């Protein structure tokens, strides 16, 4: 019998797509991503930052294998803002959206061994909340799949 997937490692691998040397270059004139984490902090670090968290998942087994699908949230926080003031950041958010989508586009390579595929299922640009505060940002919803040999 195989063990369950390592969700902490998966979250850390997704967060690593947006951190350090792997981080996408900031769009011209904008500040680079300052931190990326899969362990939700009590409050957000210096902005802009990324917080990764699992949303849901499912398993299917049969024919000597197990298929696992999971959905992950990647939240990019650009600036603390009143939601009604979002228009100030829309140009920056549109520029960052391209960079974030490109970063996930290489995920199948950088998440190697942990997942078979990683794709963006949907994205939204607008207001995000964290710890009771409002931010302008981008939410990506990632769908990951993994298959492995399985016996009961």
Contact call for residues 148 and 66 (beta carbons, < 8 A): yes
Contact call for residues 36 and 49 (beta carbons, < 8 A): yes
> 14 by DSSP, 3-state: which?
helix
CA–CA separation, 32 vs 42, rounded Å? Answer: 22
Please write down the HEC assignment for all residues of 48-104.
Answer: CEEEEEEEEEEEEEECCEEEEEEEEEEEEEEEECCHHHHHHHHHHHHHHHHHHHHHH
CA–CA separation, 78 vs 31, rounded Å? Answer: 9
String of b and e for 132-148 (b: at least 16 CB within 10 Å)?
A: eebbbbbbbebbbebee
Q: Which mean pLDDT values do the consecutive 10-residue runs of the chain (152 residues) have?
A: 74 90 89 94 93 92 84 96 80 95 78 80 95 95 85 64
pTM: 0.88
The owner of tokens 């939601």 is: 83
Contact call for residues 33 and 108 (beta carbons, < 8 A): no
Q: What is the reported pLDDT for 1?
A: 45
Q: For each of the domains in the chain, give its residue range(s) and CATH number, in order of start.
A: 7-149 (3.30.70.1700)
Q: What is the reported pLDDT for 131?
A: 93
Q: What is the reported pLDDT for 98?
A: 94
Contact call for residues 130 and 75 (beta carbons, < 8 A): yes
């Amino acid at each position: 019998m195989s063990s369950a997937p390592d969700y902490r490692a998966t979250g850390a691998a997704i967060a690593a797509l947006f951190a350090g040397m792997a981080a996408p270059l900031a769009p011209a004139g904008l500040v680079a991503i300052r931190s990326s984490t899969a362990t939700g902090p009590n409050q957000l670090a210096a902005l802009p930052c990324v917080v990764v968290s699992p949303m849901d998942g499912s398993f299917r087994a049969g024919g000597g294998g197990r298929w696992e699908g999971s959905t992950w949230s990647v939240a990019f926080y650009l600036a603390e803002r009143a939601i009604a003031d979002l228009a100030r950041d829309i140009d920056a958010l549109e520029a960052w959206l391209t960079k974030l989508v490109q970063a996930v586009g290489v995920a199948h390579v950088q998440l190697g061994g942990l997942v078979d595929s990683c794709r963006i299922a949907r994205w939204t640009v607008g207001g995000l909340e964290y710890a009771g505060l409002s931010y302008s940002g981008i939410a990506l919803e990632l769908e990951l799949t993994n298959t492995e040999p399985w016996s009961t």
